[in-house]
Structures are given as structure tokens and as C-alpha cells.
Structure 1
Amino acid sequence: MNLNITGHHVEVTPAIREYVVTKLDRVIAHFDNVTSVNVILSVEKLKQKAEVTVHVRGKDIYVESDDANLYAAIDSMADKLDRQVQKYKQKVSDHNHDALKHQSPEA
């Protein structure tokens, strides 16, 4: 898995990088098919923003969150991403289950 963390108008310090990696590891542990993750951290006046795009097989999952505190924005982003990944995983699981259910048995 490739992980790319970028900062716009903010320096990505080792502490911030470690915090983001810790949060994303918790989320991505649910899902095996992640090929790459792009994180963009930005500051616009009083708004701290965290965006993430997770590339999985067949889909890109995009989540963004903003807050007055960058760490709070990262927390919120991780929670939203967790819900999106679980939703996608459930959808794929249901789709595979339905495909198996509709197959005709061989004679």
C-alpha cells in the first residue's frame, strides 16, 4: 500500500505524519484491497482541513473533514472513512453473496 501525505500551507511534521498513519491503520485494517492512500492536510484561515482518497479495487473512496483543530479534523476524517469503508465492504460482500445464491447448481 502506498501512503502519500501532503500539506497545503501546513508543514507535515513527523508527529502529524505518525498521527495520520495511526488513524489510517485502524481503518485500513478492516480492508485488504487498498492499493494506495492519498492524504491532503490544509489550512485556510481559521479552518483546518483533512482530506483522504483511498484507492481500492474498483472504487475510490473520498472523505473530507474540517475543524478548528487539525487533530480533530483528522479524527473526524478517520471516523467518516471507517464508516465508508465498512459500507463499501458490506456492499461488496452482499454482492458476492447474491451472485453465489443466483448460480444454478450443476447437474
Structure 2
Amino acid sequence: MNLIISGHHLDLTPAIREYVETKLDRIIRHFDHVIDIAVILGVEKPSEKDKRQRAEVNLRLRGNVIHVESFAQDVYAAIDTLMDKLDRQVLKYKTKLQDHQCEAIKRMPAEAQAAE
């Protein structure tokens, strides 16, 4: 898994980088088939004073890309909400994969078909 953390009009300190990496461990714990992750942290225009900090992530999986973005006043708050959203999306994708990998009805044993 490749991890790219970049800043747009924002200095990436080692503390921010470590915070993002620890938050991403939760995502990897749920679903480990991740090809690469690109996290972009930035500051929006000064005219948007209520929500200035932006965090977005592109998570590449086999056959799919999950894009999530979040805005907040603090960069750490933006990262927290971003990881919450990403966690929900990854769990949704994982359950979708597991549901579609069920065995076909014509290949099921006769007892199971009789029960339905």
C-alpha cells in the first residue's frame, strides 16, 4: 500500500503526518485490500471563514476509487470527520463485496433450497 500525504497552502508537520497515519490504521484494519491512498490537506479561500480547512482522500481499491472530502475550522477536526466518512464508505464497500460473493441458488444444496 502506498500512502501519499500532501499539503495545499499548508505546511505538513510531522505531527499532522503521524495523526493521519494513525487514523488510517483504523481504515486498514477494516479492509486491507487497499492499493494506494492519497490524502490532500489544504486551506480554502479566506472568504469562507466558517470552514477554512479542507481534507480529502482518494482511496484506490481493486476496481474502485473512493473519494471523500471534509471541511472544518481546524485541520485535525477536518481529518477526524474525513476518517469517519471514509470508514463508513469502506465498510459499505466491504459489505457490498461480501453480499455479492454469495453462492448461486442453483449451486446450493437441496436442503437449503427446500428451507427457502
Residues matched between the structures, number: 104
Moved over 3 A (4+): none
Determine the C-alpha separation between the residues in 2 that align with 1:104 and 1:28: 33
CA distance in 2, matches of 1:28, 1:63: 16
Pair 1:80 & 2:85 matched: yes
Q: Which structure has the larger Rg?
A: 2
User: Who is 2:24 aligned against?
Assistant: 24
Q: Within 2, Cα distance between the matches of 1:94 and 1:14?
A: 40
Using the size of structure 1 for normalisation, the TM-score is: 0.92
Superposed, which structure 2 residues align to 1:1-107 within 5 Å?
1-44=1-44, 45=46, 46=49, 47-97=52-102, 100-104=103-107
Question: 1:64-100 CA distances to partner (integer Å, 9 max, x unpaired)?
Answer: 0000000000000000000000000000000001xx1
Distance 1:67 1:93, change over 3 A: same
The structural deviation recorded for 1:58 is: 1.0
Which structure shows the bigger proportion of residues in strand conformation?
Answer: 1
The percentage of aligned residue pairs carrying the same residue is: 56
TM-score norm. by structure 2 comes to 0.85
Unaligned runs of 5+ residues in structure 2 are: 109-116
Out of 65-74 and 26-35, give the one that drifted further. 26-35
